[in-house]
């Protein structure tokens, strides 16, 4: 599937959302790609309920409310979101356009790229075990696409959050489930916790307290898993291991796009927030420049200036007349007022 | 101004000046040691996981549920495990010895 647009924004966090607005005021249409399955970036994924106190004119706003408002503000410009997929490959073709391919094999072509990826994309937190790569996608899975794989098998689920408990409660009828967690308390929805405890009581699943220590096996198949409890090591046998330790952020494929980086952040100028590659911009927490402060408000400022240069790339022959949303009839029309 | 001692992942101990009111995570991060602190210190991730010298645990305020829950996302959790962003430096913990937990 291929789409065509003016600008591709990578990252649907607060700064990416405000970029849609600023670009929209200049008539630039956006497609937005984000690896999470929801809009809002860190604000929504990590701390939706936490209050933020340093957004101008908002003495106190929860992270989720901020995201909801920014999305509402961007709505008149009809952004197209491609969620739950990572921006993977970026190529510039002879037509001087950028072609971005996502992990869902969607290709979007655009004149400019705006990277608003925060601290990178959210990916599953991997177990810090040296040989874990040998087993991944053979007998160790961080997400489940086809659960029939686990039918009549021994499955060890690790973690104490919603994913760990939901899969325990889902798979117990078809697999021999053991849940391992470092304590017998869980940070999951109360009904999932009570269902799991009931299953344990009825001996439909097995629960053990411990932390995974090592994996033994051959050619990707697990033969034995060692776990630690109170400094003692125990072992158990399983066919599969499903670790659910939440998400972490990493720069991911962006690191290979040939941009100048400094300590995993993208170097930009402070006039247009353009990277070392013309027509690729970086705004928000992902960029760096002398004096950079990782604040949402800095990202807002960067969005406005970035949009000016994007306009130039998209309409090289047109003059960009500076206007205020308060007074411009044309802008009011765009905003649906 | 007080002091904390932080052992990094290479086993090297760093003596860091510690100002009251700052969190342990902020002190470590500002000293340039490798502590990710992805969420910025609002107890929403577990990337400022540290080990506190067990003898000094009693000088700290008790761990809150929120912090204990976030530690569920950390690996190699031990008795002295805490999140650096949830410990505010004060004179009671002056000279405390900490270790950055493995990544």
Per-residue model confidence as pLDDT tens digits over A125-144: 999 999 999 999 999 999 99
The Cα-based distances of B14 to A248, B85, B90, B96, B98 in angstroms read 27, 18, 19, 12, 10
A1 pLDDT exceeds 80? no
Q: What is the model's pLDDT at position A66?
A: 98
Query: Partners of A209 in the beta sheet?
Result: A181
| Mean pLDDT along residues A209-221 | 96
Chain B nearest-CA distance from A57, in A, is 22
For residue B38, list chain A residues with Cβ-Cβ distance below 8 A: 42, 46, 119, 248-249
Where do the H-state alpha helices sit in A83-140? Answer: 132-135
Domains held by chain B: number = 1
Q: What is the model's pLDDT at position B33?
A: 95
Going along A66-205, which residue ranges are E strands? 80-82, 87-92, 98-102, 107-110, 112-115, 121-124, 154-158, 176-181
pLDDT digits (tens, 9 = 90+) for A290-334: 999 999 999 999 999 999 999 999 999 999 999 999 999 989 999
C-alpha B1, offset from chain centre: 18
Q: What is the model's pLDDT at position B89?
A: 96
Model confidence pTM above 0.90: no
Chain A nearest-CA distance from B39, in A, is 7
- Single residue among A245, A279, A312 that ends a domain in this structure: A245
CATH number for the domain that contains residue B71: 3.10.20.30
**Testing the interface with A: which of B72, B74, B86 to mutate, by most A Cβ within 10 A?**
B72
Q: Identify whether residues A210 and A313 lie together within a single domain.
A: no
> Are A161 and B40 an interchain contact pair (Cβ–Cβ within 8 Å)?
no
Q: Identify whether residues A259 and A115 lie together within a single domain.
A: yes
β-strands A221-229, A232-236 pairing: antiparallel
For residue B68, list chain A residues with Cβ-Cβ distance below 8 A: 183, 185
- Mean residue pLDDT of chain A comes to 96
Chain B nearest-CA distance from A95, in A, is 39
For residue A42, list chain B residues with Cβ-Cβ distance below 8 A: 38-39
For residue B33, list chain A residues with Cβ-Cβ distance below 8 A: none
- Say yes or no: B3 contacts chain A, CB-CB below 8 A: no
Residues of A at the B interface, defined by Cβ within 8 angstroms: 42, 46-47, 50, 119, 125, 127-128, 159-161, 181-183, 185-187, 211, 245-246, 248-249, 294
> Are B73 and A161 an interchain contact pair (Cβ–Cβ within 8 Å)?
yes
For residue A47, list chain B residues with Cβ-Cβ distance below 8 A: 39, 42, 44
Report the half-sphere exposure of B75 (CA within 13 A, side-chain side): 18
Q: Identify whether residues A91 and A186 lie together within a single domain.
A: no
Domains held by chain A: number = 2
pLDDT band at A3 (very low <50, low <70, confident <90, very high): very high
CATH number for the domain that contains residue A219: 3.50.50.60
C-alpha A324, offset from chain centre: 33
pLDDT band at B103 (very low <50, low <70, confident <90, very high): confident
Q: Identify whether residues A107 and A255 lie together within a single domain.
A: yes
Q: Identify whether residues A227 and A258 lie together within a single domain.
A: no
Of B44, B73, B45, give the one whose Cα is nearest residue A158: B73
| Mean pLDDT along residues A53-62 | 97
Domain containing A328: what range?
Answer: 2-123+248-334
Angle at A327 between CA A326 and CA A333, to 5 degrees: 90
Question: Using CA atoms, how far apart are residues A132 and A315, in angstroms rounded to an integer?
Answer: 50
Q: What is the model's pLDDT at position A145?
A: 86
| Mean pLDDT along residues A37-54 | 95
Task: Pick A182's closest partner by Cβ from B42, B44, B77.
Answer: B77
Chain B nearest-CA distance from A29, in A, is 31
β-strands A206-209, A98-102 pairing: unpaired
Domain containing B77: what range?
Answer: 2-100
E strand or H helix that includes residue A309: helix A296-314
B94 pLDDT exceeds 90? yes
Q: Identify whether residues A252 and A231 lie together within a single domain.
A: no
Q: What is the model's pLDDT at position A75?
A: 97
Asked casually if ipTM beats, i.e. exceeds, 0.90, the reply is no
Q: What is the model's pLDDT at position A191?
A: 97
Question: Using CA atoms, how far apart are residues B86 and B94, in angstroms rounded to an integer?
Answer: 16
The answer to whether the beta carbons of residues A104 and A84 sit under 8 Å apart is yes
Task: Pick A46's closest partner by Cβ from B39, B68, B75.
Answer: B39
**Residue A228: other Cβ atoms inside 10 A:** 17
**Residue A283: other Cβ atoms inside 10 A:** 30
| Mean pLDDT along residues A20-49 | 96
- Please give the share of chain A, as a percent, with pLDDT higher than 70: 100
| Mean pLDDT along residues A191-218 | 97
- Single residue among A245, A264, A285 that ends a domain in this structure: A245
Question: Using CA atoms, how far apart are residues A97 and A113, in angstroms rounded to an integer?
Answer: 10
A117 pLDDT exceeds 80? yes
The Cα-based distances of B58 to A1, B2, B4, B23, B92 in angstroms read 60, 18, 16, 17, 10
């Amino acid at each position: 599937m291929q789409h065509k647009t003016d600008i591709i924004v990578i990252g649907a966090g607060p700064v990416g959302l405000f970029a849609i607005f600023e670009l929209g005021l200049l008539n630039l249409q956006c497609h937005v790609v984000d690896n999470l399955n929801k809009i809002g970036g860190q604000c929504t994924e990590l701390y939706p309920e936490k209050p933020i106190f340093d957004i101008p004119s908002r003495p106190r706003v929860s992270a989720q409310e901020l995201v909801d408002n920014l999305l509402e503000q961007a709505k008149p410009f009809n952004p197209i979101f491609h969620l739950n997929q990572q921006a993977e490959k970026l190529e510039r073709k002879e037509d001087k356009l950028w072609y971005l391919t996502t992990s869902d094999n969607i290709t979007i072509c655009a004149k400019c790229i705006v990277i608003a990826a925060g601290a990178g994309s959210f990916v599953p937190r991997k177990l810090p075990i040296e040989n874990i790569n040998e087993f991944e996608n053979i007998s160790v899975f961080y997400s489940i696409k086809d659960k029939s794989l686990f039918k009549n098998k021994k499955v060890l689920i690790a973690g104490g959050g919603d994913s760990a408990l939901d899969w325990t409660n889902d798979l117990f009828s078809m697999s021999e489930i053991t849940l391992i967690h470092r304590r017998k308390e869980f940070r999951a929805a109360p009904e999932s916790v009570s269902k799991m405890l009931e299953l344990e009581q009825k001996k439909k699943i097995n629960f053990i307290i411990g932390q995974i220590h090592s994996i033994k096996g051959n050619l990707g198949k697990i033969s034995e898993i060692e776990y630690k409890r109170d400094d003692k090591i125990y072992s158990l046998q399983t066919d599969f291991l499903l670790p659910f330790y939440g998400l972490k952020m990493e720069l991911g494929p962006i690191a290979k796009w040939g941009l100048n980086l400094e300590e995993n952040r993208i170097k930009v100028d402070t006039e247009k927030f353009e990277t070392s590659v013309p027509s690729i911009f970086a705004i928000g927490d992902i960029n760096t420049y002398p004096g950079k402060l990782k604040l949402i408000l800095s990202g807002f400022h960067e969005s406005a200036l970035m949009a000016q240069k994007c306009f130039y790339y998209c309409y090289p022959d047109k003059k960009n007349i500076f206007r205020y949303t308060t007074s411009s009839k044309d802008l009011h029309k765009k905003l649906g007022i | 101004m007080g002091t904390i001692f932080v052992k990094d992942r290479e086993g090297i101990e760093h003596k860091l000046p510690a100002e009251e009111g700052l969190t342990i995570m902020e002190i470590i991060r500002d000293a340039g040691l490798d502590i990710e602190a992805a969420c910025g210190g609002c107890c929403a991730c577990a990337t400022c996981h540290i080990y506190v010298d067990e003898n000094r645990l009693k000088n700290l305020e008790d761990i809150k549920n929120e912090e204990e829950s976030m530690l569920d996302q950390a690996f190699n959790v031990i008795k002295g495990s805490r999140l650096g962003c949830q410990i505010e430096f004060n004179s009671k913990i002056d000279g405390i010895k900490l270790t950055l937990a493995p990544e």
